[in-house]
Amino acid sequence: MGFLSKLLNMPSFKGATNALLVELALPELTEAQRTQLKGRVVELIKAHRSSDVTPETILAELNQTPRIFQLNVLALAMKDLGYPLPLKKEKFQKVEDPFDASHADEHALRAVARRLKWHYGVEVWIEEKPISFDSW
């Protein structure tokens, strides 16, 4: 169990878990929830940037960010807002930096996807196209 515990505590597995859980949750979000999440994402990013950055600038930059990182930012916002996950026994993992390159580790993503399929019978993968927050 020690090896598995260490493996599951690696940043790449935490980020992969969050990303895949959000990917599962996205189709279930209502328009109101998407609007609320978008606002919370802007607040989270603005808290770590200069105060003169506009929400429009933040969203434009986020639209150009790879989806894996967008999903990890959304995981932070969903956790802050107390949104339920589609898999009741799962929980969001603590991720220090949602833009950490280790979250895009293909091996971690495949391992987490296999774990979710084995435990819940759910197949999920990260879509290639970034999320367009303008259409939210």
Residue in 106, 117, 124, 129 with CA at minimum distance from that of residue 12: 106
Q: Which residues contact 53 (CB under 8 A, 6 or more apart)?
A: 46
| pLDDT at residue 5 greater than cutoff 60 | no
Q: Is residue 41 part of a domain?
A: yes
Q: Is residue 110 part of a domain?
A: yes
List pLDDT tens digits, range 94-121: 998 999 998 889 999 999 999 999 999 9
Q: Is residue 38 part of a domain?
A: yes
| pLDDT at residue 3 greater than cutoff 80 | no
Does this model's pTM top 0.75? yes
CA 12/CA 10 separation, integer angstroms: 5
Q: Is residue 135 part of a domain?
A: no
**Residue 11 — pLDDT band, cuts 50, 70, 90?**
low
- CA–CA distance from 116 to each of 4, 46, 59, 61, 111 (Å)? 15, 33, 30, 31, 9
Q: Please compute the mean of the pLDDT values over residues 54-66 and round it to a whole number.
A: 94
Domains: count for the chain? 1
Residue ranges making up the domain that contains 119: 2-128
| pLDDT at residue 1 greater than cutoff 70 | no
Write down the pLDDT at residue 12.
Answer: 85
CA 104/CA 20 separation, integer angstroms: 11
Q: Mean pLDDT lowest for which of 5-19, 35-49, 93-107?
A: 5-19
